[in-house]
Amino acid sequence: MKRFALWAPLAIFALLFAVVASGLFRPAEKVVRSAMIGKPLPDFALPAMVPGKPGLSSASFRNGKPRLLNVFASWCIPCIAEAPQLMQLKAMGIPIDAIAIRDTAPAIAGFLRRNGDPYERIGSDKASQVQLALGSSGVPETFVIDGRGIVVKQIIGDIRPENMAEIVQAVKDAR
């Protein structure tokens, strides 16, 4: 009995370690699924972020034409990385609107000067309320919205060149 009592803590530790290690090396789900897919955008109205560009509201997504909604910030390094792809999508004729998260007008204006401006409208979400209502937990994130204001696709993280065909197809399918 004494021998068992001596080795029991080590056996319990080894079992616990094996369970934790198996969870780390074999995660249950590798794809993050959006709870917003198939649902309408939450109602919001955001003030304009920079002079010369209107603010953004959920009503602007119910005009019959699909568009992208990009959640970004001037302080976000991956947002800089995705800027060329957003400019390319704009050149393809895909309308893009944006929500600037916890940012200032001068910082956003500088970001757009340095990295290009693919946006038709930019709304200011200083408290991240709309971002959280969208189910977005970080920046950048991009949503494909159909012409009725329904979310049809969510891209978590920066848009990379290999994502372009998938996004263009999602916008075409949303028509």
CATH for 112: 3.40.30.10
Residue 166 domain-assigned?
yes
At 29, is the pLDDT very low, low, confident or very high (cuts 50, 70, 90)?
A: low
Q: How many domains does the chain have?
A: 1
| 61 contacts 149 by C-beta, under 8 angstroms | yes
Range of the domain at 109: 45-173
The C-alpha atoms of residue 92 and residue 104 are separated, in whole angstroms, by 29
Whether residue 31 has pLDDT greater than 90: no
Non-local (6+) Cβ contacts of 149 within 8 A are 40, 41, 58, 59, 61, 62
Q: Pick the residue with more confidence: 2 or 11?
A: 11
Residue 40 domain-assigned?
no
Whether residue 25 has pLDDT greater than 80: no
Whether residue 71 has pLDDT greater than 70: yes
pLDDT at 98: 98
At 152, is the pLDDT very low, low, confident or very high (cuts 50, 70, 90)?
A: very high
pLDDT at 167: 97
pTM of the model: 0.82
Give the burial class of 86: count Cβ atoms within 10 A of its Cβ; 0-12 exposed, 13-18 middle, 19 or more buried: buried
pLDDT at 170: 96
162 C-beta neighbours (distance < 10 Å), count: 8
Residue 110 domain-assigned?
yes
Residue 67 domain-assigned?
yes
Residue 22 domain-assigned?
no
Residue 34 domain-assigned?
no
The SS3 call for residue 40 is: strand
Q: State residue 128 phi and psi, 5-degree precision.
A: 60, 25
Residue 16 domain-assigned?
no
Residue 24 domain-assigned?
no
Percent of the chain with pLDDT over 90: 77
